[in-house]
A and B are shown apart, each in its own frame.
Chain A
Amino acid sequence: SQTIHQWPATLVQPVGSPLSLECTVEGTSNPNLYWYRQAAGRGLQLLFYSVGIGQISSEVPQNLSASRPQDRQFILSSKKLLLSDSGFYLCAWRDFNEQYFGPGTRLTVT
């Protein structure tokens, strides 16, 4: 069966520090992968999606970037965090017509 992992689960970072969030999927190959941000427990905002290694599409211009160095690995990064980057970050993968989410990373920028 397929599983999706995210780490870390929680993170507290100061403004201006770098960020790296990791997502890995097991049990499938060449999945479509997605990064979402959720603020205040409502509304899922799509940030990036990837259909393959090295292929990244950005949905919203912002302070973040994404990379896909391996087939089942998706990374969300920032060089300098802003206070507005705080939120709950969710990775997801697509299985035919369905989409499954990871457990999420709670990021607090102080």
Chain B
Amino acid sequence: GQQLNQSPQSMFIQEGEDVSMNCTSSSIFNTWLWYKQDPGEGPVLLIALYKAGELTSNGRLTAQFGITRKDSFLNISASIPSDVGIYFCAGRSTGGTSYGKLTFGQGTILTVHP
């Protein structure tokens, strides 16, 4: 089956630093989604990517859809304490009877020290 490798698994950074995380897949995806989950809450969609090479920003967040369609990365600039949480990537493959099923990475736990 499809697998997504998300790295790093965890990050401990100082407030103000930039953050970068990525996901790689064994399969080609036609959609990449990035989510953030706060403790005890459901994941919230941050950025959606639909085309290879696409670069999309949402405030201090920037994500890119890899040219090979097998990877994506998320950058957070000038981190702040409220960036703390778990970040998930998710991909959806082309065609088939997937019914829109997403494949999720295992998440990156981000800790920001003030």
| Residues of chain A having any CB pair with chain B under 8 Å | 32, 34, 41-44, 46, 49, 51, 57, 90, 92, 94, 97-104, 106
User: Which of A44, A90, A98 touches B45 (beta carbons < 8 Å)?
Assistant: A98
Interface residues of B in 32-46 (CB under 8 A from A): 33, 35, 39-45
> Which one, B18-26, B53-61, B100-108, is touching chain A?
B100-108
On whether A103 and B42 interact (CB within 8 A), knowing A97-B31, A97-B48, A97-B50, the answer reads yes
User: Which of B31, B43, B86, B109 touches A90 (beta carbons < 8 Å)?
Assistant: B43
User: How many contacts between A and B, using CB within 8 angstroms?
Assistant: 52
| Residues of chain B having any CB pair with chain A under 8 Å | 31, 33, 35, 39-45, 48, 50, 86, 88, 90, 92, 99-102, 104, 106-107, 109
Question: What are 30 A-B contacts defined by CB distance under 8 Å?
Answer: A32-B100, A34-B101, A41-B39, A42-B86, A42-B106, A42-B109, A43-B104, A43-B106, A43-B107, A44-B88, A44-B104, A49-B99, A49-B100, A51-B99, A57-B99, A90-B43, A94-B100, A97-B31, A97-B48, A97-B50, A98-B33, A98-B48, A99-B45, A99-B90, A99-B100, A100-B45, A101-B43, A102-B42, A103-B41, A103-B42
